[in-house]
Every structure is written in structure tokens, then in C-alpha cells.
């Protein structure tokens, strides 16, 4: 496909040249007009109907958050920012409902935990496709283009637990798609972590030895269905994980540590990583396979190298690099097929196992507010914030200044065990706010998580509600947004908090006390 486009563009240039030399001949207006019409036709056809060798930018929309924006608010946010491709990690009906009629191209996902079931029977894959794909594929429905079968299922830390399900699940889903005539429109892909391949030099790239067999099958399957290889690339993690990784090599601004590989020189980790994959694919005989980047980005908090400046510089560099269509030394002029930024929004309920930065990958904060200026190169100028965000009332829970806080440790543990306190840690935006600040931050996180339920700010009398924003400098004390889980039945925050488990527990305690009082008095 890509080759055809290159040929077509050359041809267009040739035509332009003939046309302009034609200009020198006087009196041939008709021919000129005819050529002009022909030329514009060719240009229009060439640019609109052929998938050009140009990258398209999309975003990942993850929803592991305590404070979820309404799906319709998120879709508005995508549209306001002219983002026309989105990748989901499941097939959440609320998200898909909101995407209906939006024209946005969607990649939905099969979570790893579902691979076993889908690999075991075509009945399971048939009903997955029926429930999660075909029912949306209609006029004003959802433009589902890809299904991600598993998410990084070959990650080394999974020790192979999902590995054997991938091919059977792919084959079943392919059959199920064929049954409903969607097999050529909806492409199956398997987003892989870059740890699937390794090498010290890009040209020596190879898949991990224990993956050779399955990768051979996977790549041949992808090739026969016209699907790209999808890979997630994280220069941040290379930098975070290794103290001798040259910092400037993670970015796109030039490096004092270029990697020389034969006649090729690499100036950034992205190109080096990408070409390692190209080499690994070549070893299997598929050196021309299109590659899409399923996830790439930089976090803004929870680590020293995860900060606003670094994230802005990385994402700006990435977007410029990709949109320049430069490609890489092994694929000059051929940028990745699609690039999905990780991520659209912060997800405060994600596991911190990878690190405290894990909840801070968004180009927007959890409530859809741009964290830093960024031009996505999609025609919008800067980032546009989410509109009509429904916040809880402007109040916060803080440590009561008139109380002795020496017994607060357990409360803090409880609060930070469930709510998000990752910004307090070393390298985080709230790391310097002092002991009392720490306590207040933890109390507030918990209070907002509990939808500002009054009792959740008690902490044995150590907490108190305030109407003054306690945010200090870069450290933001959040106010929650009305939870979408309860907003479908009722939009008022008080009724949603009255159904929270916390509230029910209190009701039970009070009933018990009342019952005992009644029992002993009588």
C-alpha cells in the first residue's frame, strides 16, 4: 500500500511538471484547463482515497479512574481536539454508546483475562463479536476498525500465562468476524510490549527466543489479514529503569550519545526501538509489515523524570518527528501507520506496581484539563479542555489544625491505601508540602473518593472540611467529579454518596447503637 502511494505521488509530480511546461505554449487554453481539471482530480483522488504513507495520531482512552468523566464529555473532548482515532482497553458499552455517530475510528480491546474463554470456543467469540462489535456497526453507529486481542499478552512479567491463548483467540475471533461479514473491515491486532524483542543494536533485533514460534504464527496471521504489528514503546521506562541510560537519547532533541549501527546512526530511543522491531520482523521474513504504535507517552508526576516539562518536550518531539514523515534509518520515509498517545487522561486508580508515575500519563488531568501546552498537529491550535465537567462542590478535607496529629499514621495508611497519594512521593508534585500537608492531602484524596461524604472526613476528629482551596504551588488538591456510575440513576451527588458502602456501614452502626440504647433503657 505504502509503495503504491509513493509511486502515485511521483506520478503526480511528473504530471505537474508537464503541465507547467505546457504553460509556455500559448493558445492552448482548453488543454490547460483540461489538464488542470485532470490534475486536481488526480490530486484529490490521490489524497483522499489512498491511505497515504503518513502517520495518523490517536489517543488511548483508559478508564481506571476514581473520578470518571462522563463518556459523552470525553467524546466531546476528543472532537474538540480533532482527535479522530481512539484506542480503548475493553468494549465498555457506555464508552461505545458515547462514540456512536462521532465518526471517530475506534480500536476496542479484549482484556487478557478474557483470552482463555475466547480461545476455548467459537460460541464465546461469536457472542463477543455480536455483543461488542456487530451491534455497533451500522449507520450512525461506532466505526470500529481494530480489535486489540489481549494487551501486551507476552509481557515477560506475565511468565507466559496468556501466551498459548493468543493464536486460538485470534483464529476464533477472525471466524466470528467473517460470519458477520466484518473480517475485512475490522482488523485483529495484538499490542505487544517492546520487551517482546531485544538487541543491543537495532539491526540485530530479534524476538525473545521463547517467543520465536508464536511470533512466527502471529506475524503470518497479521500479514494474511492485512493487519499491522502493534507495539508499545516507552523511552520513559528505559530512562526510569536504568541509571546509565543517556537522558537526551530518550527525547527527540538530539543527543550527545548517538548509537552507531553500521552505516546508520540513531539519535533517539524511539527510532532505535522501532528499527529493532523492524529487524526482528525481517528475521521472520516480514520486514515490510506495517507497524502501528499502540502506546507511547510520558508521565507528568510521581517520579523525578516524570514531570510537566519532560512530558511536553517528549510529546512535542514525538509528534513533530512522526508528522515529518522522516521514518527511521531502516524505513526511511515510512513513519508508523498510526501512533496512539498514552494517554488521554490520568487514571488515578491504576496499580502503582510499575511506579508512582503510573497514574499520571494523561495529556489531560483526570478531569479533562490540559496539563501543558501541546500542538497535536491535527489542525487544532493548542489543547482544548473538557467542557461541562460536573464537579462536586468546591470543598476539601484537611487536617484539623487545632488537633494533635501524632496518632494519624493509621488514618493516613487507610486513606492512601484506597485513594491516590502518589503525588506525595519523591519526585511528585506534592512532595515538598510538609508533614501536615501530607496528612491533609491524604485526607482530601479519601474524602473526594468517597464523593465528599461528610463522615469520610472525620478521621476520629482529626479531619475537617474547608471551603478554601488548600492547593500549594504545583501541588493540586483535587475536587472530584460526579461519578458516572451513579449519574445514570441520579445526577445529584448527595444521593450517590448515600448509597456508598461507607454510608451504609454508618447506618448499620447507628442502628446497632440505637437498638442497644433501646434494649438497656427498657
Ligand X SMILES: *[C@@H]1O[C@H](CO)[C@@H](O)[C@H](O)[C@H]1NC(C)=O
The single residue among 20, 184, 247, 410 that binds ligand X, judged by CB under 6 A, is 247
Residue carrying the nine cell digits 476520629: 460
Footprint (CB under 6 A) of ligand X, residues 64-83: none
**Site for ligand X contains 356 (CB under 6 A):** no
Q: Which is nearer to ligand X, 6 or 435 (CB)?
A: 435
- Our finding on whether 237 is near ligand X (CB under 6 A) is no
Contacts (CB under 6 A) with ligand X, residues 125-144: 127-128, 131-132
Q: Which residue is nearest to ligand X (CB)?
A: 305
Enumerate residues 6+ apart whose C-beta is below 8 A from 268: 235, 249, 250, 251, 252, 255, 317, 321
Q: What Å distances lie between residue 407 and 21, 139, 460, CA to CA?
A: 87, 61, 10
CA distance 219 to 60: 23
Q: Which of 9, 216, 425, 471 binds ligand X (CB under 6 A)?
A: 425
Q: Does 45 bind ligand X (CB under 6 A)?
A: no
Q: Are 470 and 444 in contact (CB under 8 A)?
A: yes
Name the residue among 498, 497, 507, 411 with its Cα closest to residue 449: 497
Q: Which of 493, 467, 495, 499 is nearest to 480 (CA)?
A: 493
291-296 and 338-341: which strand pairing?
A: parallel
Contact residue for ligand X among 92, 390, 458, 474 (CB under 6 A): 92
Residue closer to ligand X (CB basis): 438 or 450: 438
CA separation for the pair 69, 368 (Å, rounded): 8
Task: Kindly report the number of other CB atoms within 10 A of residue 40's CB atom.
Answer: 10
Q: From the list 309, 351, 402, 488, which residue makes contact with ligand X (rule: CB under 6 A)?
A: 309
Interface with ligand X in residues 109-128 (CB under 6 A): 127-128
Shortest Å distance, C-beta 432 to ligand X: 8
Nearer to ligand X, 128 or 366 (CB): 128
Q: Does 310 bind ligand X (CB under 6 A)?
A: yes
How is residue 311 written as a grid cell?
512530558
Look up 295 and say whether it is catalytic. Answer: yes
Please select the residue that binds ligand X; options are 2, 69, 91, 194, rule is CB under 6 A.
Answer: 91
Catalytic residue among 4, 54, 152, 390: 152
Nearer to ligand X, 180 or 389 (CB): 180
Q: Please name the residue ranges forming H helices in 267-339.
A: 269-283, 308-323
- And the C-alpha cell for 507? 447506618
Query: At closest approach, how far in Å is the CB of 372 from ligand X?
Result: 12
Q: Is 198 a catalytic residue?
A: no
CB 507 to ligand X: min, Å: 32
Whichever of 198 and 248 has its CB closer to ligand X, that residue is: 248
Q: Provide DSSP, 38-67.
A: HHHHHHHHHHHHS--S--EEEEEE----SS
Residue whose C-alpha is closest to residue 268's, from 321, 305, 307: 321
Residue 31 binds ligand X, judged by CB under 6 A: no
Least Å from the CB of residue 306 to ligand X: 7
CB of 419 to ligand X, least distance (A): 14
For residues 148 and 424, which CB has a smaller minimum distance to ligand X in the complex? 424
DSSP SS3 for 436: helix
Catalytic residues: 152, 295
Which residues in this chain contact ligand X in the complex, by CB under 6 A? 90-92, 127-128, 131-132, 247, 304-305, 307, 309-310, 424-426, 434-435, 438
Amino acid at each position: 500500500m505504502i509503495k503504491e502511494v509513493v509511486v502515485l505521488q511521483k506520478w503526480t509530480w511528473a504530471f505537474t511538471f508537464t503541465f507547467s511546461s505546457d504553460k509556455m505554449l500559448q493558445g492552448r487554453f482548453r488543454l490547460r484547463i483540461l489538464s488542470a481539471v485532470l490534475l486536481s482530480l488526480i490530486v484529490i483522488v490521490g489524497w483522499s482515497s489512498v491511505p497515504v504513507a503518513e502517520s495518523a495520531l490517536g489517543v488511548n482512552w483508559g478508564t481506571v479512574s476514581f473520578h470518571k468523566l462522563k463518556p459523552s464529555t470525553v467524546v466531546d473532548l476528543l472532537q474538540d481536539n480533532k482527535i479522530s482515532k481512539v484506542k480503548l482497553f475493553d468494549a465498555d458499552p457506555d464508552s461505545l454508546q458515547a462514540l456512536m455517530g462521532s465518526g471517530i475510528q475506534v480500536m476496542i480491546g479484549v482484556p487478557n483475562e478474557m483470552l482463555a474463554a475466547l480461545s476455548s470456543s467459537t460460541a464465546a467469540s461469536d457472542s463477543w463479536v455480536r455483543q461488542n462489535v456487530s451491534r455497533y456497526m451500522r449507520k450512525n453507529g461506532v466505526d470500529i476498525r481494530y480489535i486489540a486481542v489481549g494487551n501486551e499478552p507476552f509481557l515477560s512479567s506475565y511468565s507466559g500465562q496468556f501466551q498459548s491463548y493468543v493464536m486460538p483467540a485470534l483464529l476464533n475471533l477472525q471466524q466470528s468476524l467473517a460470519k458477520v461479514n466484518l473480517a475485512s473491515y475490522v482488523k485483529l491486532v495484538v499490542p505487544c510490549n517492546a520487551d517482546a524483542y531485544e538487541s543491543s543494536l537495532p539491526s540485530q533485533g530479534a524476538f525473545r527466543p521463547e517467543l520465536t514460534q508464536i511470533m512466527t504464527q502471529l506475524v503470518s496471521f497479521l500479514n494474511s489479514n492485512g493487519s499491522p504489528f502493534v507495539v508499545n514503546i516507552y523511552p520513559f521506562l528505559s530512562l526510569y529503569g536504568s541509571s546509565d541510560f543517556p537522558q537526551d537519547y530518550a527525547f527527540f532533541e538530539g543527543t550527545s550519545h548517538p548509537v552507531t549501527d553500521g552505516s546508520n546512526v540513531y539519535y533517539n530511543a524511539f527510532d532505535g526501538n522501532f528499527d529493532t522491531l523492524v529487524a526482528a520482523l525481517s528475521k521472520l521474513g516480514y520486514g515490510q509489515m506495517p507497524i502501528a504504535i499502540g502506546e507511547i507517552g510520558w508521565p507528568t508526576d510521581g517520579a523525578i523524570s516524570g514531570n510537566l516539562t519532560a512530558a511536553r518536550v517528549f510529546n512535542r518531539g514525538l509528534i513533530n518527528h512522526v508528522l515529518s514523515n522522516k521514518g527511521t534509518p531502516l524505513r526511511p520515509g515510512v513513519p508508523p501507520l498510526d501512533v496512539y498517545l498514552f494517554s488521554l487522561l490520568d487514571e488515578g486508580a491504576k496499580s502503582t506496581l510499575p511506579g508512582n508515575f503510573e497514574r499520571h500519563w494523561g495529556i489531560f488531568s483526570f478531569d479533562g484539563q490540559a496539563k501543558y501546552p501541546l500542538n497535536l498537529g491535527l489542525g487544532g491550535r493548542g489543547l482544548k479542555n473538557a467542557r461541562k465537567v460536573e464537579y462536586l462542590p468546591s470543598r476539601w478535607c484537611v487536617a484539623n489544625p487545632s488537633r494533635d496529629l501524632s496518632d494519624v499514621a493509621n488514618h493516613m495508611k487507610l486513606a492512601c491505601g484506597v485513594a491516590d497519594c502518589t503525588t506525595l512521593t519523591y519526585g511528585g508534585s506534592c512532595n515538598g508540602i510538609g508533614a501536615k500537608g501530607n496528612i491533609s492531602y491524604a485526607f482530601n484524596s479519601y474524602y473526594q473518593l468517597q464523593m465528599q461524604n461528610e463522615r469520610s472526613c472525620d478521621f476520629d476528629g482529626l479531619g475537617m472540611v474547608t471551603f478554601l482551596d488548600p492547593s500549594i504551588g504545583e501541588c493540586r488538591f483535587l475536587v472530584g467529579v460526579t461519578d458516572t456510575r451513579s449519574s445514570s440513576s441520579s445526577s445529584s451527588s448527595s444521593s450517590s454518596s448515600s448509597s456508598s458502602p461507607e454510608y451504609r456501614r454508618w447506618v448499620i452502626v447507628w442502628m446497632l447503637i440505637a437498638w442497644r440504647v433501646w434494649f438497656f433503657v427498657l
